[in-house]
Structure 1
């Protein structure tokens, strides 16, 4: 048996985890995640967290400011890796918490939890730099394939990384997707991870090159058809940490403060209580992590700079 508490302590300190330990962590996580549906049922009270992007010190602040996983239930909306300097430690810490407290933490797949994207935006390079090979990256990518595509809180709040899809308009349809694969370039699974809300009249092409832009009409139709009150999603940098749109029918939550160590934004998490009231907690970047920003880590550039 692995000593999870010991591994958690090491990860929180940003210490090196042996490759064999990562392999076992990832294998155990797959076995656990395999039994979860595409859309995980979650009870209140729960705290919703947006993109983390490898900012380990800020993830620790997030737990500190919002109660901690020992006594709080969490949903993380994906994008655990890339951009930040501690993608591996951030992702493995969340996996350890998932294994240690399976009912207290729900992990949803983001558009960065893919082989293709992590090869461009930093996670692959980070692992090769830390281990001298890509094995650990491979183990993590296999876990990505098992992550849920969404969550539903008290049958009333739908959580997803990106947004809606014209191909699937009900939560029940989303439950039928074969999620155990690399994210396709089009179709419903792609849209859930890539789409964005925007003031548009109808489905429009996304400048990201994947997913769609969708407006109030699509949100209202989805809420009514699925008898839910709110869509909670992440995926887009919000300078104030969160942004409600469409008469409060949709909220974007962003949990990576001073994104990329230079954006100057604050971060937020959203607590939903038993009466479905919303309470936002705002937090700022940790100084210790900003100092890491002096170490320049090369990442390959591509034409897809729409993530910022």
Structure 2
């Protein structure tokens, strides 16, 4: 069956024509990268005629673009159910599986495509690339079973790393981060230079030691007359990170910050972002805070660019060390016992307490279920109750879930990130659930604004600062990403 043919059933010809018009309009919005409007119109096409595989296949692609991987998976499967010969359905489902780190399932779909189109070079390339990942993971699993793998941090010898005479970049003073070092680093990075690997490794080793001593839930006290800033996802957009510091001031003991996860991936200046953030954490350990996001994980980093970027700018050994460091990032922060901040959201059960969050064993890769997973992956929904996640990981939680959690833990509201918002932030659940996203024009395609939250210790009332994207050097987003996911930006 070709993509323009329809499966006839009980659908009237009038409904079929209406559906086709919706699809054509949706395609226009998709071309203009307005994926949310495209999704609405594909949905209208499906409602008018639910028998056409292409409508589900197209909506699946739009869901992939908006990171709704769970929905994308469902739609691709529905398209295949309607038409077993709809090759793009297998492509879409494979992409959804890849985005979720389910490489074996993706491989099966790519295999189906290669059998259907044996002369398709793109299909063969994708199958080969996916097969490499599956074999690599199987090999790594076998190795880890055979031997107790040593921490990478324990294998680093800084004394063996010489500083070349020609290196003129920032230098640690007495092996410590100073304000001068941070100012020099920002200027150095702005010119697209690289921090010497000895200093880079030193920062990573020191930050790991610091995070290891922290609980999974960190309590922060903000004095009455002091301000505090919460930033959402940065995603490797270094020049937008600098814009935040230009607008709001550099971090200091009187200008504290919390960055709420997803510092890296997608944007192609992730190395610069993470070393700048880690540097400020070392400089102001009690006034600069960082939460783990769902992208501070090995699978996400391998797919969405950070792993490739670290290997390109430094080494595979450093990429492994980053994984060790990310495993120790705190999962949430509680401000003045009144506001809980986490990257994703709330939970699949109602009896979760702050004490339980504080005791989570976090030194691992994020699991596919449970409290740690939900803190990193969940999203709010407008309707009451809970629903399966649009992402395929975590849960969606309604205003009643938020209210119960706040009452149980004697909190005022929650702040989370994790989702692109047109204006950089969104207030939901009667003001009790706030989303903040700090990467404007995300992936150079979304045309969204960025935002951060300001509050003071006395009333803890959030105010919002909204800003646009800054120009950046001509390196496209996802430049270091796995080739199978280049469609994502």
Q: TM-score, normalised by structure 1?
A: 0.93
1:137 to 319, 324, 330: 319
Higher normalized helix content (fraction of residues): 2
Give the whole-Å Cα distance in 1 for the aligned partners of 2:381 and 2:309.
33
Give the whole-Å Cα distance in 2 for the aligned partners of 1:51 and 1:223.
24
- Counterparts of 1:69-218 in structure 2, within 5 Å, are 69-70=251-252, 71-131=254-314, 133-167=315-349, 169-218=352-401
Tell which structure's C-alpha radius of gyration is larger.
Answer: 2
The residue that corresponds to 1:34 in the other structure is 212
CA contact (8 A) 2:188 2:194 kept: no
Q: Which runs of 4+ in 1 moved over 6 A?
A: none
Query: Could you tell me how far 1:126 is from its partner in structure 2?
Result: 0.9
Give the whole-Å Cα distance in 1 for the aligned partners of 2:263 and 2:446.
18
Give the whole-Å Cα distance in 2 for the aligned partners of 1:34 and 1:195.
25
CA contact (8 A) 2:233 2:437 kept: yes
Query: Could you tell me how far 1:261 is from its partner in structure 2?
Result: 1.4
Higher normalized strand content (fraction of residues): 1
RMSD over equivalenced CA pairs, Å = 2.0
Give the whole-Å Cα distance in 2 for the aligned partners of 1:11 and 1:140.
20
Question: In 2 relative to 1, CA 174–296 (structure 1 residues): closer, same or farther, beyond 3 Å?
Answer: closer
CA contact (8 A) 2:309 2:480 kept: no
Structure 2, unaligned runs of 5 or more? 1-173
The residue that corresponds to 1:259 in the other structure is 442
Query: Could you tell me how far 1:296 is from its partner in structure 2?
Result: 7.2
The residue that corresponds to 2:177 in the other structure is 4
Query: Could you tell me how far 1:2 is from its partner in structure 2?
Result: 2.2
Does structure 1 residue 223 correspond to structure 2 residue 416?
Answer: no
CA contact (8 A) 1:78 1:111 kept: yes
The residue that corresponds to 2:465 in the other structure is 281
Question: In 2 relative to 1, CA 215–64 (structure 1 residues): closer, same or farther, beyond 3 Å?
Answer: same
Q: Secondary structure at the match of 1:128?
A: helix
Q: Secondary structure at the match of 2:343?
A: coil
Give the whole-Å Cα distance in 1 for the aligned partners of 2:297 and 2:432.
29
Give the whole-Å Cα distance in 1 for the aligned partners of 2:214 and 2:410.
22
Query: Could you tell me how far 1:285 is from its partner in structure 2?
Result: 1.0
Number of equivalenced pairs: 304
CA contact (8 A) 1:256 1:266 kept: yes
The residue that corresponds to 2:241 in the other structure is 59
CA contact (8 A) 1:11 1:92 kept: no
Q: Residues 41-65 of structure 1: CA distance to partner in whole angstroms, max 9, x if unpaired?
A: 1122311100000111111111121
